[in-house]
């Protein structure tokens, strides 16, 4: 019995109790960055001399500093500053104080007192100048603190009497950036001088230094006054005489700044009356300043001449006779002061005697006429533009041409007078000057009509070897008016010579002749029998339709015939056949004609022209109604909903073909609805109610649909421009739905937990990114897929992958269609390859292993940043693909939202037995990031100029989108000869 009790006791005491294991909370590591101030203090303490300290400071300047460490670093720098005796080290410390003050998130008001104390105790002029620059930075960072600004301005006024020019320059700069002009000079505080800004107006303080002995200080004073003007404060007219005197300064920097100062005053007070020196005459201030700046076009410094010429172009309020004087080197009579008959009689009466007629010329004027004293404009200003256009420096000539353009556009009479001068510039030795003069003449072409001799000079430029020059001249001829039919004949002859010498100019020449025919139908009419080689009663041979020159003549004639109904009577039978052929092949160059007795051909473009005549408002209303009709899709069964989407997509595509103004918006909406249709087909009922092995084909179809939706969304985001934030949110929303579909299909078809976990984590990151990027658009996404995901996001982040996939599947199938808001103005990026045409059957032969250059000429419409996004792709028959990045210089910009790509692509391949075709197309590169942090540019520390650029984000998605039709080119790599 005792043994039994003992056994029971042992059993009770040896009972094992299992305590649930509580996981210890994970320890979180906090990375503490080393203190910048401590490291700097250690380095400066290690420095044995000033050279070592300067080296440590230079090394420190290359490292970024966080905002919370700036104040400690400043204290260490100031502590070392007070102990340092070397001027170069103190200068570097003062520079670092200014750079540190620019750090984002740091308020420099805590170091104002220390900076001012160091300035008061400093003896070195260079260090004082650097400290003034630091104070300027501090004042710019504290625009809302008037007390600090007042103290800084007082310090500037105090040091304006410094003997070193650098200190005076910095003080004037501080006054220009921080001073105000609203405090007048009063009698009570005149005696205080320039010690406080409240006492004296900043403008008067600055103007006192217009006459400083150092030219650098005079330049700084003018720039400070200009800075006051740029800040929106009014400059007084009283300084006009001082600014005019500075135009004759000995130093070019002063004269250049004075030109800008005179121009500013002429814009502020154009109608003020100013006296002419040494006379009783008065003229408008804008006319007087125009004459003085015109005189500067003959300055000894070419930089001053360039600025003066550019400045003249912006003085649009000047009187016409002053404007016309710039084209004549001789002084016009209306700019010379003439005494009236009343004044002459009054002077004769005052002399007390009259002419008796006995003495020869006894009534002649007694005074000597001094032309410099009586002119309303300085004689050196006469013919200012003539001097500018004949200048030895091409920069001055370009500036003069640009100024002529600006003035001629605002004055038709001046445009006619400067025509000869601009035409003469077509013969300039510098290509850039010739090109600019052509562009200028194009801009003022609405005001002028070319004579035959002028047209002859213009057409001589067609011999130029530069393609840009020739195409610019073709563009000029498109919008130029000519006076006689001989001018039309001369232009046609020279253009045909150009076409024969440079066959690649074919499209440009045809376009030029099209506009010539449209603008001059009555001048083309008497030339038609000669141009078409017709005869009243003899049959003439039919020309060859493959001849580009004959096509050019027909383009001219047919475009003139549209406005001249009597012209078709002069056509022969084969001309009508050629019209029908060109109407189909070159419909953009040949207009539709109403030919009596001929069968009318109504093609797509004739319908398009009829539709184009309708109002854009009705087409836009139809587009809006089509989008509103989609909102009823939730009430339809799956077949009916799909049919509605198909019909709407078809209508929108047709609308884009007929109404070019709405083509971008219609295509955008059609592509978006196509994505919705693909998603709807992928979410069919039978696919999700069957086991995976029974619907492998449907799974493959859904996978392909998800992949296609992703491709289409990238097109929607990057091919179309002008999208608002709401449309971008809709695109990202359907992309998120496609990624959810991909995740569901991956979970259904693949085995293994690890890939599914990583896919789920990546998808949740996508949802969080969407929420951060489009937080302001979430209220407009009610009852949509993403709104339900955002509500379920806390639960989804902690659930198992299988539960997440089931939730996604349910949410995706129950979410409603997101209604697309009609964009205001959307344009689609398009590209058209002009050369090569792909029509030649003659292969391009070259030796295998070597390269051959293929010329590419393409027009780009509505492409953003083409230098970085447009690429050329070459596809070879064996499947190889080469992508070439054109040089930035290969892109031209002929107009707004239009670019021209003219480049060469080098081809190379091994030997072939037969010629084959390669495909050339243009690609639009894009780079999208799944991380919202990468979309916003990372801000560098403002004080560090040497911070390394950050690497690209890991989540970046890059790709290319074809946006041009491919062109096929025959090539034949030949084996090398041995």
Nearest Cα to 492, choosing from 543, 464, 451, 531?
Answer: 531
Q: For residue 445, name the pLDDT band (cuts at 50, 70, 90).
A: confident
Asked if residue 283 lies in contact with residue 292, where contact means CB atoms within 8 angstroms, the answer is no
Q: Which helix (H) or strand (E) holds 81?
A: helix 67-83
Does pLDDT of 552 surpass 90? yes
The arithmetic mean of pLDDT across residues 546-565, rounded, is 91
pLDDT on residue 194: 39
Higher-scoring residue by pLDDT: 801, 967:
967
State the pLDDT at residue 943.
40
Strand partners, 905: 854
Q: What is d(CA 250, CA 218) in angstroms, rounded to the nearest whole number?
A: 11
Query: What pLDDT score does 222 carry?
Result: 92
- What is the pLDDT at residue 355? 58
Q: Evaluate if residue 285 carries a pLDDT over 60.
A: yes
CB-CB contact of 463 with 494 (8 Å): no
**Residue 133 neighbours by CB distance under 10 Å:** 19
Could you read off the pLDDT of 454-488 as tens digits, one per residue?
889 889 988 888 888 898 899 899 988 888 889 99
How far apart, in Å, do the first and last CA atoms of the chain sit?
Answer: 116
The DSSP secondary-structure symbol of 535 reads: -
Query: Tell me: the pLDDT tens digits for 649-666?
Result: 888 888 888 777 788 888
**Quick one: DSSP state of residue 105?**
T
pLDDT (average), residues 63-76: 78
Q: What is the pLDDT of residue 842?
A: 83
- Say what the pLDDT of residue 320 is: 84
- Predicted confidence (pLDDT) at residue 669 exceeds the cutoff of 70: yes
Q: What is the mean pLDDT of residues 760-789?
A: 77
pLDDT of residue 945: 40
Q: How confident is the model at residue 533 (pLDDT cuts 50, 70, 90)?
A: confident
Per-residue pLDDT at 22 exceeds 80: no
Q: What is the model's pLDDT at position 517?
A: 92
pLDDT value of position 36: 54
pLDDT surpassing 80 at residue 815: no
Q: How many C-beta atoms lie closer than 10 Å to residue 789's C-beta?
A: 25
Closest by CA position to 708, among listed 744, 738, 745: 738
Q: Which two tokens stand for residue 643?
A: 């049919």
Interval 290-318 mean pLDDT:
89
Measured between alpha carbons, how far is 53 from 46 in angstroms, rounded to an integer? 8
Q: Please name which of 163, 374, 419 lies closest in space to residue 276, comparing C-alpha atoms.
A: 374
Q: What pLDDT does 598 receive? A: 57
**What is the mean pLDDT of the segment spanning 792-800?**
75
Which of 391-395, 766-770, 918-922 has the lowest average pLDDT? 766-770
Q: How far apart are CA 274 and CA 288, in angstroms?
A: 8
Across all residues in the chain, what is the average pLDDT? 78
- Look at residue 850 and tell me whether its pLDDT is greater than 70: yes
Confidence of residue 216 (pLDDT cuts 50, 70, 90): very high
3-class state of residue 919 by DSSP: strand
Count of Cβ atoms closer than 10 Å to residue 125 Cβ: 17
pLDDT tens sequence across 325-376: 888 766 544 444 445 555 555 665 565 555 556 656 655 655 444 444 444 5
Q: Which helix (H) or strand (E) holds 549?
A: helix 548-561
- Whether residue 41 is predicted with pLDDT greater than 90 in this model: the reply is no
Do residues 603 and 585 lie in contact, with contact meaning Cβ atoms separated by under 8 Å?
Answer: no
Tokens of 575: 């001309």
Instruction: Report whether pLDDT(239) > 60.
Output: yes
Q: What does the alpha-carbon distance between residue 416 and residue 464 come to, in Å, rounded to a whole number?
A: 26
The model's pTM: 0.68
Residue 278: pLDDT above 60? yes
Among 154-163, 248-257, 624-633, 648-657, the range scoring the smallest mean pLDDT is 624-633
Longest dimension (CA), the chain: 179
DSSP count for the chain of H helices, then E strands: 43, 16
CA atoms of 405 and 443, how far apart (whole Å): 7
Q: Considering only CA atoms, which of 812, 816, 641, 818 is closest in space to residue 741?
A: 812
Mean pLDDT of 68-94: 81
User: Residue 752's pLDDT band (boundaries 50, 70, 90)?
Assistant: low
Q: What b/e readout covers 30-60, taking b as 16+ CB neighbours within 10 angstroms?
A: eeeeeebbebbbebbeebeeeeebbebbeeb
What was the pLDDT predicted at 258?
93
Predicted local distance difference test score (pLDDT) of residue 338: 47
**CA distances (Å), origin 525, targets 289, 592, 958:** 51, 18, 57
* Residue 223: both structure tokens together: 């720039």
> The tokens 């995901």 sit on which residue?
789
Whether the pLDDT of residue 24 is over 70: the answer is no
Mean per-residue pLDDT for 550-562? 92
Residue 920's pLDDT is what? 92
What Rg, from alpha-carbon coordinates, does the chain have? 40
Output the pLDDT for position 701.
Answer: 78
- Residues 724/824, Cβ–Cβ less than 8 Å: yes
For residues 804 and 893, is the Cβ–Cβ distance under 8 A?
A: no
Distance CA 9, CA 598 (A): 124
Flag the least confident range among 14-23, 930-939, 959-968. Answer: 930-939
Residue 629 has pLDDT above 90, yes or no: no
Burial of residue 881, with CB atoms counted within 10 A of its CB: 0-12 exposed, 13-18 middle, 19 or more buried:
exposed
Paired strand residues for 883: 873
pLDDT at 637: 72
Predicted local confidence at residue 694, as pLDDT? 46
Q: Are 731 and 775 in contact (CB under 8 A)?
A: no
């Amino acid at each position: 019995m005792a043994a039994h009790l003992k056994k029971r006791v042992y059993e009770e005491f040896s009972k094992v109790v299992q305590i649930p294991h509580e996981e210890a909370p994970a320890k979180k590591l906090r990375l503490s960055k080393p203190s910048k101030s401590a490291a700097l203090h250690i380095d400066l303490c290690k420095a044995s001399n000033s050279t070592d300290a300067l080296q440590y400071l230079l090394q420190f300047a290359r490292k970024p500093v966080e905002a919370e460490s700036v104040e400690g670093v400043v204290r260490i720098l100031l502590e070392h500053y007070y102990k340092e005796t070397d001027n170069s080290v103190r200068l570097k410390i003062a520079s670092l104080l200014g750079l540190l003050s620019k750090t984002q998130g740091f308020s420099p008001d805590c170091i104002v007192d220390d900076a001012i104390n160091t300035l008061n105790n400093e003896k070195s002029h260079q260090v004082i100048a650097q400290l003034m620059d630091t104070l300027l930075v501090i004042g710019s960072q504290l625009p809302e603190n008037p007390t600090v600004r007042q103290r800084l301005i007082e310090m500037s006024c105090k040091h304006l009497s410094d003997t070193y020019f650098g200190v005076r320059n910095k003080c004037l700069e501080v006054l220009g950036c921080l001073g105000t002009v609203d405090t007048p000079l009063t009698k009570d505080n005149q005696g205080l001088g320039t010690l406080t800004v409240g006492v004296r107006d900043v403008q008067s303080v600055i103007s006192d230094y217009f006459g400083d002995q150092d030219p650098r200080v005079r330049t700084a004073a003018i720039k400070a006054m200009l800075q006051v003007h740029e800040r929106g404060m009014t400059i007084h007219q009283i300084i006009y005489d001082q600014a005019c005197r500075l135009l004759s300064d000995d130093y070019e920097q002063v004269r250049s700044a004075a030109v800008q100062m005179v121009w500013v005053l002429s814009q502020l007070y154009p109608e003020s009356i100013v006296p002419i020196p040494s006379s009783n005459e008065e003229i408008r201030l804008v006319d007087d300043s125009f004459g003085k700046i015109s005189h500067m076009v003959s300055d000894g410094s070419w930089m001053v001449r360039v600025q003066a010429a550019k400045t003249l172009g912006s003085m649009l309020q000047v009187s016409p006779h002053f404007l016309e004087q710039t084209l004549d080197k001789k002084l016009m009579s209306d700019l010379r002061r003439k005494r009236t008959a009343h004044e002459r009689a009054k002077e004769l009466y005052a002399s007390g005697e009259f002419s008796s007629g006995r003495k020869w010329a006894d009534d002649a004027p007694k005074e000597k006429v001094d032309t410099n004293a009586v002119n309303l404009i300085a004689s050196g200003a006469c013919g200012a533009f003539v001097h500018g256009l004949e200048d030895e420096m091409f920069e001055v000539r370009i500036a003069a041409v640009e100024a002529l353009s600006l003035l001629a556009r605002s004055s038709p009479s001046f445009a006619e007078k400067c025509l000869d001068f601009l035409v003469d510039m077509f013969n300039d030795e510098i290509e850039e000057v010739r090109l600019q003069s052509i562009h200028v003449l194009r801009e003022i072409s609405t005001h002028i009509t070319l004579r035959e001799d002028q047209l002859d000079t213009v057409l001589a430029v067609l011999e130029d070897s530069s393609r840009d020059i020739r195409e610019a001249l073709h563009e000029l001829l498109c919008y130029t008016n000519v006076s006689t039919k001989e001018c039309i004949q001369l232009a046609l002859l020279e253009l045909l010579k150009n076409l024969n010498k440079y066959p690649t100019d074919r499209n440009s020449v045809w376009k030029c002749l099209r506009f010539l025919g449209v603008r001059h139908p009555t001048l083309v009419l008497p030339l038609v029998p000669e141009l078409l080689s017709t005869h009243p009663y003899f049959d003439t041979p039919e020309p060859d339709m493959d001849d580009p020159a004959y096509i050019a003549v027909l383009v001219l004639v047919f475009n003139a015939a549209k406005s001249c109904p009597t012209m078709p009577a002069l056509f022969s039978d084969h001309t009508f056949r050629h019209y029908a052929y060109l109407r189909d092949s070159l419909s953009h160059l040949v207009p539709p004609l109403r030919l009596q007795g001929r069968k009318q051909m109504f093609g797509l473009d004739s319908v398009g022209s009829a539709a184009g005549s309708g109002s854009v408002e009705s087409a836009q209303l139809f587009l809006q109604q089509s989008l509103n009709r989609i909102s009823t899709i939730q009430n339809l069964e799956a077949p009916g909903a799909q049919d509605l989407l198909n019909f709407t997509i078809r209508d929108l595509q047709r609308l884009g073909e007929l109404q070019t103004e709405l083509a971008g918006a219609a295509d955008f909406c059609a592509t978006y609805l196509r994505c919705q249709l693909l998603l709807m087909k992928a979410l069919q009922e039978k696919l999700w109610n069957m086991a995976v092995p029974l619907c492998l084909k449907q799974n493959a179809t859904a996978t392909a649909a998800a992949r296609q939706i992703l491709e289409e969304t990238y097109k929607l985001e990057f091919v179309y421009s002008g999208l608002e934030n709401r449309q971008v949110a809709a695109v990202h929303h359907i992309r998120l739905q496609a990624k959810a579909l991909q995740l569901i299909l991956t979970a259904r078809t693949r085995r293994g937990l690890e890939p599914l976990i990583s896919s789920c984590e990546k998808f949740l990151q996508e949802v969080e990114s969407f929420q951060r990027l489009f937080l302001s658009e979430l209220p407009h996404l009610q009852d949509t897929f993403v709104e339900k995901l955002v509500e379920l996001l806390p639960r989804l982040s902690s659930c198992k992958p299988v539960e997440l996939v089931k939730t996604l599947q349910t949410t995706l199938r129950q979410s409603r269609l997101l209604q697309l808001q009609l964009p205001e103005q959307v344009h689609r990026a398009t590209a058209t390859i002009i050369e090569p045409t792909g029509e030649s059957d003659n292969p391009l032969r070259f030796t295998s292993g070597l390269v051959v250059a293929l010329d590419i000429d393409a027009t780009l419409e509505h492409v953003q940043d083409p230098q970085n996004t447009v690429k050329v792709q070459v596809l070879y028959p064996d499947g190889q693909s080469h992508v070439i990045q054109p040089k930035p210089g290969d892109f031209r910009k002929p107009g707004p939202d239009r670019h021209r790509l003219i480049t060469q692509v080098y081809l190379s391949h091994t030997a072939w037995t037969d010629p084959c075709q390669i495909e050339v197309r243009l690609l639009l590169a894009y780079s999208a990031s799944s991380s919202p942090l990468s979309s916003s540019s990372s801000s560098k520390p403002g004080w560090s100029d040497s911070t390394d650029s950050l690497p690209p984000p890991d989540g970046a998605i890059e790709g290319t989108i074809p946006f041009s039709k491919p062109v096929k080119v025959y090539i034949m790599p030949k084996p090398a000869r041995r």
